[in-house]
Amino acid sequence: MTGRWREIAIAGHSGDGVAARGALADPDTVVRELGLGALQRLGLLTDDDLRAALVDDAFSVRRRAAMLAGQRPEISLRATLDDPEPTVVEAAAWACGEQEQVDDEVLDALIELGTRSSDALVREACTAALGAIGDPRGLPTILHGCTDKPAVRRRAVLALAPFDGDEVDRALQAALVDRDWQVRQAAEDVLRAGSA
């Protein structure tokens, strides 16, 4: 850790808002990331700070901003879901799930990415977000996720929790005999919670 990194990390704990805010314009990517975190910790991070960071040149800053936006439902992550860097898209999808209420454009993007993204982590994050949002329009994507790679299947099974119906029941029954033990465990957990 360089001295500058340490200074900004400490600023978030010592109440140094001036140093934390100055970090947002630093040429060092890590300093900008730390500045976002420090301002958040101090309660000084503004929506404008986040919106600017969501279009930063460095994908790691955009990813950090997307994650922080999960606590700010007033910040739309629609454009961030089109980011060329998959880890940024994954973070944005996760944040949409944290926001729990999204507009139709964001919902449509999550649905599309949940089935069509070439990146399994993006599909997984979108599936989980759709479960957290709980909109019935996302259910087909979640059901599609139940047939994806094991990590996506686990998330998809858990994402079925707010839904019911024959398709959901069939997906949960199939998950109970999945070859991946974590998928089976997830199905047992969802069914147990549903019967409580």
Sorting pLDDT into bands at 50, 70 and 90, what band is 135? very high
Q: What's the pTM?
A: 0.92
Structurally, the chain folds into a number of domains equal to 2
Question: Tokens 């094991």 — which residue?
Answer: 150
Tokens for 145? Answer: 């996720």
Dump pLDDT digits (tens) for 156-171.
Answer: 999 999 999 999 999 9
At 3 the pLDDT is 82
Tokens for 118? Answer: 């070439």
15 or 185, greater pLDDT: 185
Dump pLDDT digits (tens) for 99-126.
Answer: 989 999 999 999 999 999 999 999 999 9
Q: Which domain holds residue 167?
A: 46-195
Question: Tokens 């500058």 — which residue?
Answer: 4
* Close Cβ partners of 99 (under 8 Å, ≥ 6 residues apart): 69, 70, 72, 73, 77
At 1 the pLDDT is 55
Do 4 and 92 belong to one domain? no
Do 40 and 91 belong to one domain? no
Helix axes 86-99, 104-116, angle to 10 degrees: 130
